[in-house]
Chains A and B, each alone.
Chain A
């Protein structure tokens, strides 16, 4: 009996994931135009890089090195943004760079975000010793100087795409855990969760059915904002030579490569940097909008 009467309440209080997805699609119609278009371009570039890019990003053509961008004398639309010191096409490298940055960030979010959400839920919902241990761990990770730790890690294990994912994930996990824990603590106190408990739902069911769908918004918003942040961190590491190793077309690496030639061949540094700036801007603007739309309470996040 109790089960039967409480069911509708639970239904309306915790929206199903499907209805939430509809709400997001509906909301997209009101999304800010420029960042949404920018984001779409970034995603398309990342997905279809080999088809969009006019050249192979790592193909050397040493005879045609340092070709200037199309609008300069000596430039041509064949290499719209010019070529670098090895004659590699800049535009193609930037397009493929989208793929590198985005796939790395998404991998980190999937790995760190999932772990962080799990720990955050456990910490917030179970409280007590679990909470204490997780919180100590989260704070210890957040107190680490990220770039320096990455330096040590990379010098110990060498640079590689997977190692970058590996070193960045714990930091993302810690941020997620802190945020999700806060949400879980608040939701735990709500009536419908108490009700679910009263009707005898097991803990794992309460977490999966009632808490998780409600922290979903926070996780989505945080993921979007975190991708921008990760692109910045990854490009800084690559710039320092402790991120993604060459010859992969990572934006930070391209800026570092172009630096020696900045006076004579500015396009080697300018365009990859602009790519980072514009991508992060689009992601941040979109993330801000998403946060305001999905969760008006947390405008200060």
Chain B
């Protein structure tokens, strides 16, 4: 068990290093950083002096090391356009993205859990078929387009919900649904298969034998155990939401980190883009790690089957 956890932590560190190296190299490839600071009429000697001062004449690995040391103390550089530290910008934008992700998770769970449970209990009936169709649609639809269509229907034509932006609680409904919609497929399937496994077990037969009402057996005894894989999976979903936030925030003009990254790309503000990627990447890795470790603790068999 400890060996497995150590292995996962090592992989996590490799993953984070990989992201930072990748982003660092891409940053170097994106153009000469000196151009951003130096006016056009500056002489070659001045440019050379600035390069020397900024350490741009150092070998690449030395430059990376300086960049990496900055990361360790939370220094992601300054935004070229907004002239503020990237870390500060990220911290300002995070609550919007996190609250949206939480809403999306809530909506996805509320839809997927009952569907998954019912389709397991009433296997091969119309409920099961409806669940399959929902899962299938979620898997096949382009998120950005669904977002625009729902926006038109519920915000523009019916006028029930705000069109875009982050205002009151009602402004969370559309983007939250769109973000949650595409993970419903995975959640429904997982809940269903997990419930089917659990419903086969002895303690369920036992609970039924005791004469407990079927409702209690399914929603209390069975669901509780069937939830374990679903909850660990939802950790991974949270990481996915951070990545998907770019699309949803672009559609709904949501002031989160996805929108920040996209605006930065359009304004060629490279430090901001790289800041978002490193932060989301690290978040993704840490979540993955926590999921793996939790799972190994909850279900000790995993360490054998993973290899």
Q: Which residues of A contact B (CB under 8 A)?
A: 136, 139-140, 143-149, 151-157, 228, 232, 235-236, 239-242, 252, 255, 259, 262-263, 266, 269-270, 272-273, 276-277, 280-281, 284-285, 300
Complex Cα spacing A96 to B70, Å: 47
| 5 A-B pairs whose Cβ atoms sit less than 8 Å apart in the complex | A140-B14, A235-B142, A239-B144, A269-B149, A277-B140
The closest CB in chain A to the CB of B29 belongs to A156
Whether a CB of chain A sits under 8 angstroms from the CB of B250 is yes
- State which of B11, B15, B142, B261 has its C-beta within 8 Å of the C-beta of A148: B261
Which residue of A has the minimal Cβ distance to B142? A276
> B253 CB to closest chain A CB, in angstroms?
11
Task: Name the distance in Å between A300's Cβ and chain B's nearest Cβ.
Answer: 7
User: Please, which residues of chain B bring their CB within 8 A of the CB of A252?
Assistant: 142, 144
Other than the given A263-B156, A277-B142, A300-B193, 5 more pairs (CB < 8 A) read A147-B247, A148-B276, A152-B26, A236-B144, A284-B139
Contact surface of B with A, Cβ cutoff 8 Å: 11, 14-15, 18-19, 22-23, 26-27, 29-31, 136, 139-145, 148-149, 152, 156, 189, 193, 239, 242-244, 246-247, 250, 261-262, 265-266, 268, 270, 273-274, 276-277, 280-281, 284-285, 288
Residues on A with beta carbons closer than 8 Å to the beta carbon of B277: 145, 148-149, 151-152
Contact B145 A269 (CB under 8 A): yes
Summarize A's interface: helix, strand, loop or mixed. Answer: helix
Give the complex CA separation of A259 and B250 in angstroms: 12
Which residues of chain A come closer than 8 Å to B261, judged between CB atoms?
148, 151
Are B140's CB and A280's CB within 8 A? yes
Contact A139 B15 (CB under 8 A): yes
Chain A hits for B15, CB < 8 A: 139-140, 143
A221 to B273: give the CA distance in the assembly, Å: 36
Q: Is B26 within 8 A of A148, CB to CB?
A: no
Within 8 Å CB of B239, what residues of A?
Answer: 145
Chain B neighbourhood of A281, CB < 8 A = 136, 140
Chain A residues positioned under 8 Å from B30 (CB to CB): 155-157
Tell which of B18, B193, B265, B288 touches A151, judged by Cβ atoms closer than 8 Å. B265
Q: Are B152 and A262 in contact (CB under 8 A)?
A: yes
Cβ of A262 and Cβ of B14 under 8 Å apart? no
Closest residue of chain B to A284, judged by CB? B140
**How far is it, in angstroms, between the C-alpha of A272 and the C-alpha of B144 when the chains are bound?**
12
Contact A262 B274 (CB under 8 A): no
Within the complex, the shortest CB–CB distance from B17 to chain A, in Å, comes to: 8
B140 pairs with A152, CB closer than 8 A: no
| Contact with B19, one of A144, A273, A280, A285 (Cβ below 8 angstroms) | A144
Chain B hits for A269, CB < 8 A: 145, 148-149
Taking a contact as CB atoms under 8 Å apart, the answer to whether B22 and A143 are in contact is no
Partner of B22, one of A149, A151, A273: A149
**A136-B11 contact, Cβ under 8 Å, with A151-B273, A236-B144, A277-B141:** yes
A142 → chain B closest CB, angstroms:
9
Q: How far is the CA of A140 from the CA of B289 in the complex (A)?
A: 12
| Pairwise interchain contact B281-A143, C-beta atoms closer than 8 A | yes
How far apart are B205's CB and chain A's nearest CB, in angstroms?
Answer: 24
Contact A144 B148 (CB under 8 A): no
- State the CA gap A281–B277 with chains docked (Å): 31
Chain B min CB distance to A264 (Å): 11
Taking A136-B14, A145-B243, A147-B243 as contacts, is the C-beta distance between A155 and B273 under 8 angstroms? yes
Q: List A contacts of B140 (CB < 8 A).
A: 228, 232, 277, 280-281, 284
Instruction: Please give, as numbers and ranges, the residues of chain A lying within 8 Å of B193 by CB-CB distance.
Output: 300
List chain B residues, Cβ under 8 A from A156.
Answer: 26-27, 29-31, 270
Shortest beta-carbon distance, A168 to chain B, in Å?
14
**With A157-B29, A284-B140: A273-B148 Cβ-Cβ less than 8 Å:** yes
Residues of chain A with a CB closer than 8 A to B262's CB: 151, 240
In the complex, chain A residues whose CB is within 8 Å of the CB of B280: 145, 148
Separation in Å of the A283 CB from the closest CB of chain B?
A: 8
Hey, which chain B residues are within 8 Å of A276, CB to CB?
A: 142, 145
CA distance A252 to B143 in the complex (A): 11
Report yes or no: A152 in contact with B23, Cβ–Cβ below 8 A. yes
Known: A156-B30, A269-B148. A239 touches B247 (CB 8 A): yes
| Contact yes or no, B281 A144, CB < 8 A | yes
A284 & B136 in contact (Cβ 8 Å cutoff): yes
Chain A residues near B23: list those with CB within 8 A: 152
In the bound complex, what is the Cα–Cα distance between A254 and B262 (angstroms)? 18
Q: How far does the alpha carbon of A273 sit from the alpha carbon of B146 in the complex, in Å? A: 8
- Taking CB atoms, residues of chain A closer than 8 Å to B142 are 232, 235-236, 239, 252, 255, 273, 276-277, 280
| B243–A146 touching, CB < 8 Å | yes
Q: Is the CB of A154 within 8 A of B246?
A: no
Please give me the 4 A-B residue pairs with the lowest Cβ-Cβ distance, nearest first.
A273-B145, A156-B30, A145-B243, A140-B18
| B274 touching A152, Cβ below 8 Å | yes
Min CB–CB distance A159 → chain B (angstroms): 10
CB closest chain-A residue, reference B288:
A143
A240: chain B residues at CB < 8 Å are: 144, 246-247, 250, 262
Chain A residues with CB under 8 Å of B266's CB are 241
Please, which residue of chain B has its CB at the minimum distance from the CB of A158?
B30
Contacts A266-B152, A273-B142 given; does A145 touch B242 at CB 8 Å:
yes
Contact B281 A148 (CB under 8 A): yes
**When the two chains form their complex, are residues A143 and B285 in contact, meaning their CB atoms are under 8 A apart?**
yes
Smallest beta-carbon distance B119→chain A, Å: 14
Q: Given known contacts A145-B243, A147-B244, A155-B30, is B11 in contact with A139 (CB within 8 Å)?
A: yes
Q: Are B145 and A255 neighbours in the complex by a CB distance under 8 Å?
A: yes
